[in-house]
Amino acid sequence: MMEKFKEALSFAASICSTSEQCAADVLRKTDKFGLSIEEKDMLVQKLKQDGFLDEKRYVRAYVNDRFKFSKWGKMKITYMLKQKGIDARIVENALEMIDQDDYTGTLLDLLKQKRKSIISSGITDLKAKLYRFALSRGFEPTVTVKCLKKMKLCEDEGNSAEY
């Protein structure tokens, strides 16, 4: 019985040492060892105690990677971390690391890029498609509207040929 636990601990420690993991991911990846609930709790506690698992560190890395590389908005990042059972306060603190100008600039770049591939029947249709696209990437409605205004899609509807 203890042999399974040691194997699972060794396996979990090795995956935690190669990349940041959260407790939910580690437990999912160690399912194949058939540990009891008590052993799973012991496994997580041991990994935390030895510094292999750190939720704050994991969330900071996750937020950074998903924003910079996947170009996700704060709503999608929050949702995905909530699915992993991460404390909301830790998520909020990590999201505050994102520079607001970078955040808005990233969405603006995504919208400009997406606009090139959209076939629309008019300005209203174009705005709706871009708005839905931004929401699907997890960007907040207020930030999306601000970016659409910068693209001249919300204010001067007749002057939208610039972008």
pTM of the model: 0.86
Residue 107 resides in a domain: yes
Residue 132 resides in a domain: yes
Residue 135 resides in a domain: yes
Answer for the pair 62, 81: CB distance below 8 angstroms, yes or no.
yes
Residue 159 resides in a domain: no
pLDDT confidence of residue 156: 43
Residue 157 resides in a domain: no
Answer for the pair 78, 47: CB distance below 8 angstroms, yes or no.
no
Q: Which amino acid is located at 64 in the chain?
A: N
Q: What 3-state DSSP class applies to 108?
A: helix
**C-alpha to C-alpha distances, 113 to 1, 2, 86, 116, 117, nearest whole angstrom:** 56, 55, 33, 6, 7
90/104 same-domain check: no
75/109 same-domain check: no
pLDDT in 10s for each residue of the chain, 163 residues: 588 999 999 999 999 999 999 999 999 999 999 999 999 999 999 999 999 999 999 999 999 999 999 999 999 999 999 999 999 999 999 999 999 999 999 999 999 999 999 998 899 999 999 999 999 999 999 999 999 999 987 654 444 443 3
Residue 141 resides in a domain: yes
**C-alpha to C-alpha distances, 36 to 40, 113, 140, 153, 155, nearest whole angstrom:** 6, 50, 41, 57, 60
132/111 same-domain check: yes
pLDDT confidence of residue 160: 41
As given in the structure block, the two tokens for residue 43 are 């496994």
Residue 163 resides in a domain: no
Tally of domains within the chain: 3
Category of 120 on φ-ψ map: left (φ > 0), alpha (ψ -120 to 50) or beta: beta
Q: What is the DSSP letter of 19?
A: S
Distance of alpha carbon 133 from its chain centroid, rounded?
Answer: 16
Domain that holds residue 17: 2-49
H helix count then E strand count, the chain? 9, 0
Q: Count of residues for the chain?
A: 163
105/131 same-domain check: yes
81/108 same-domain check: no
88/124 same-domain check: no
Residue 155 resides in a domain: no
11/26 same-domain check: yes
